[in-house]
Structure formats: C-alpha cells, structure tokens
Amino acid sequence: MDYFPIFLKLQGASCLLVGGGEVALRKARLLLSAGAELTVAAPALTPELAEMARQGQLTHLCACFEPAQLSGRRLVVAATNEREVNRQVSVSCQALNIPVNVVDDPELSSYITPAIVDRSPLVIAVSTGGGVPVLARLIRGRLESLIPSGFGRLARFAADFRDRVKAGIPDVERRRAFWESVLEGPLAEAVINGDEAAAEQAMERRLEDAGAQTAQGAVYLVGAGPGNPDLLTFRALRLMQQADVVLHDNLVAPELLELVRRDAERIYVGKARANHALPQGDINLLMVELAQQGKRVLRLKGGDPFTFGRGGEEIETLAAHGVAFEVVPGITSASGAAAYAGIPLTHRDYAQSVTFVTGHKQDGSIQLDWPALTRPAQTVVVYMGVSTAQELCHAFIEHGKPATTPAAAVEWATTERQRTVAGTLRDLPELMSKHHIASPALIIVGEVVGLADKLGWYRTRVC
C-alpha cells in the first residue's frame, strides 16, 4: 500500500486550514463535521466561511500563513491557489510531524483525504492514492447506492449491545459467529427499517440462547476459480470473509488470499508435483480436527472442488466423522483458460463434445482412454499436464491423432500473468519449453484451438 488507511479522531482537536476560497470551504465543512476546532488562516474568506466565523463555528486568522500558526495543531490542510505557499505549509508541518494535506497535490501531502461514504458511525473511505480522485468518487457513488442509510442505525444498535455480547459470549470465535448471524439476518433488517423495539426484543432472546449453545464447527470447500478475483462467486467471497481458518494450496492466486478475513489463520497445504506440503490424508484429518474445535474452516481450492480437486475424497472423510460441510462450486480452470484465451471448448463446426482429463504420470506411463480421446470433433483439456507435455502429445499422435492437430497451453489463466502458446501436437512441447511455461497451466487439444487468433481478447498470445 502506498498509504496506510487510518481513521483519525478529531473531536475537539485543534486543526488549521490555510486558505479562504471555495476549495477551503469544502475542507472546512468536512473538518467541522468531524468535530474539529477549526482555525482558518487567510487574508480573506468566501461569504460562507465568513458567516461560519461570525457564528463561532470556526476562528478566522486574517493573515497569510506563518509557521507559528502551527503550534498545538493536530492536523493541517493547505488549500490556497499558490503552490509556493502550499509548499511552505507542507515543509513546516512535516518538520514538526504534523499530518498535512495539500489539496490536489499528493507530492506535498503526508496524508490524503479519501472519498467518503458517511453512515455514521459507519464510515467508508475510498482512495486511489491521490492519483485518480475521480475514480474514487465514482466508487463512492456506487457504494452510496448499495448501502442503505439505515446501516448507521445498525452500527449504533450493535455498539449498544457490544459489552453485553462480550460478557455473555466470552469465546472470540463464537462471538464473531454470533455477530455475523445477527448482522446478516432479519434482526438487522428490522433495525435498518426503523423497528428497533422489535430488534431489541429479538436480540435479548438471541443472547439468552447463545449462552447455552456450544460452538459448532463446519468445513466449506470453496472453489476459488481460475485465478481472477472477479470470477469468484458471491457465496465464495462471503465465506472467505467469515472463516476462522483457511487451508489453501499453490493453485490459489495471492490476489485471492487478500480477500480472506485478515485475522483468519492461514495454513498452506499446497500440493505440487512430488512436493506435498501435507499429504492428502493429513489434510482431510486436519479439517476434521479444526472443525471439531468449533472453527469455521475454509478449504480454498483453485478452480472447482469437484474437478480434479479431490473434493470428493475430502468430504468423504468429513462425513465419516460427522462434520458439517458445504461445497461451493467455482469456475473450473478449463472454462476460465479457454474463455480468456479465445478458445471455445465446443463449436458446431469443430467440436461437439469436450473431455477433461488429468495428465499425471503413473508407473512410467500415462494411463488414459486414448481411443476415446482421439475421436474427431471433440476438445480435450488436460489438467496438470505441464510436466508430461512431451509424452502426452506423443501419445495423442501415436494413438491416431494427426500431428497437425492444433494444441495450446494456457498459463496463469484469467490473471494478469496469463500467457498462451499455441501450435500443434508436434511442436507444442518445444514451444512450452522455449517460453518456460510452468504450472499452473492447462493444455487444450482440438480444432477449436485454431480460433484463438481470431477470438482471443484478453492477452496477446506468446506465439
């Protein structure tokens, strides 16, 4: 992060605003709304600022900026139309370690003012690091339309019960689960709609019931999709924000892990070829153990849990131990890679079926149903086939597939790192080696690969 986000308490704090024009007026309104004791230093004021001074809402120093004006200030804003004056304010403040914002000049600012969605006491701040304030305002506008005004009432309601909930539910994990159930259910809707009396009665009942309940753990097998965070399902994102523990592997993109609740425990259980952080059996039992401790366990998997993700094996173990579980499907990597590479998996003119297979080697050979895979008018997508690409392509040809059949490898599909190499069964392994294609990557074989040149829209292919 270029800037550390923070909310600063300004009630009763002495703040200085340098400048008396229209820009200064906007900043004055903002500072006063936060409860600041505001002094404005400027030779002249706009009529509205002058009226605020007459009414005692702020103090006017009828003078140009002087460093002595900084004494005792908690925060300073420079809003003049003279950059040299603004620079002087910035240098003086930073010498005294006083936070200073120079309006529309991030270079001179030690902090920046974000776009704000105010549902006090709920406040949301949006920043682009001072680089594109218009974008921050656009995002704020979207949030304004999505977040009901009643969320402020909900925040106050929850704050009023905070101490009682903490006393009644000492366990941190149980308390978090309690609040999530309250804030996402009908009780919250009652508060938002203004029926706080009914909500208070419901909250009292919930607190009485919570004291007698024991923590119930569960496991959520969540498909993280092919890598692009925008391709997550709403359900997946919600569970990522609620989980107490996250078990993830090497196919989960780092950008996706940033969406997990920040205080959740993260356990890497990655599995790469011949390099397992934890054997599959140990992963299964670890999920059972964590759930039996009352924790909500998120098993985050690249792609879809039931498409070469061993999800079936995992939930068999959970079911055998009586652990509650839920499976959240994700966009499988084959769909993501094909779509982003411009390769339709089926096409009336080229492929009437599609087959997903795994390219793992077993006992020195690739044990696949080659007669079925080499039939015409179909697309074959090979998962985990990077290390065996040479053998795979040779086997396709050996079992009757023409060596000129189009074939492609798509690496880090749907992400900014996506690369696609396309050729034929004869030359694809050489191309993959030349361009250092590595896992995670998929191999796609079939006539539809020939459409990538025309239909590719996301990334220019490597070759």
Taking alpha carbons only, the member of 302, 317, 183 closest to residue 249 is: 302
Q: Is 402 annotated among the ligand-binding residues?
A: no
From the number of C-beta atoms within 10 Å of its C-beta (0-12, 13-18, 19+), residue 460 rates as: exposed
Q: Is 305 annotated among the ligand-binding residues?
A: no
In DSSP terms, which residues pair with 267 in a beta bridge?
247
What confidence score (pLDDT) does residue 374 get?
95
Cα torsion 116, 117, 119, 121 to 10°: value is -40
What confidence score (pLDDT) does residue 351 get?
96
Taking alpha carbons only, the member of 155, 149, 144, 111 closest to residue 130 is: 111
Q: Is 226 annotated among the ligand-binding residues?
A: yes
3-state DSSP assignment of residue 313 = helix
Mean residue pLDDT across the chain: 91
Determine the Cα–Cα distance for residues 72 and 85; give it in Å rounded to an integer.
Answer: 20
Tell the residue number behind the tokens 């895979």, with chain if given: 373
Q: Is 102 annotated among the ligand-binding residues?
A: no
Which of the residues 105, 118, 271, 427 is marked catalytic?
A: 271
Q: What is this structure's pTM? A: 0.69
Question: Is the Cα dihedral 424, 428, 434, 439 positive or negative?
Answer: positive
Q: Is 384 annotated among the ligand-binding residues?
A: yes
Annotated active-site residue 271? The verdict is yes
Which of the residues 249, 295, 301, 401 is marked catalytic?
A: 249
For residue range 436-446, list pLDDT tens digits in order: 999 899 999 99
Annotated active-site residue 401? The verdict is no
Tell the residue number behind the tokens 């620079």, with chain if given: 87
In this prediction, residues 280-300 reach a mean pLDDT of 92
For residue range 173-184, list pLDDT tens digits in order: 788 888 888 887
- Percent share of the chain, pLDDT over 90: 70
For residue range 379-410, list pLDDT tens digits in order: 999 999 999 999 999 999 999 999 999 999 99
pLDDT level of residue 90 (50, 70, 90 thresholds): very high
Q: Is 302 annotated among the ligand-binding residues?
A: yes
Q: Which H, E and C letters describe 46-84, residue by residue?
A: CHHHHHHHHCCCCEEECCCCCHHHHCCCCEEEECCCCHH
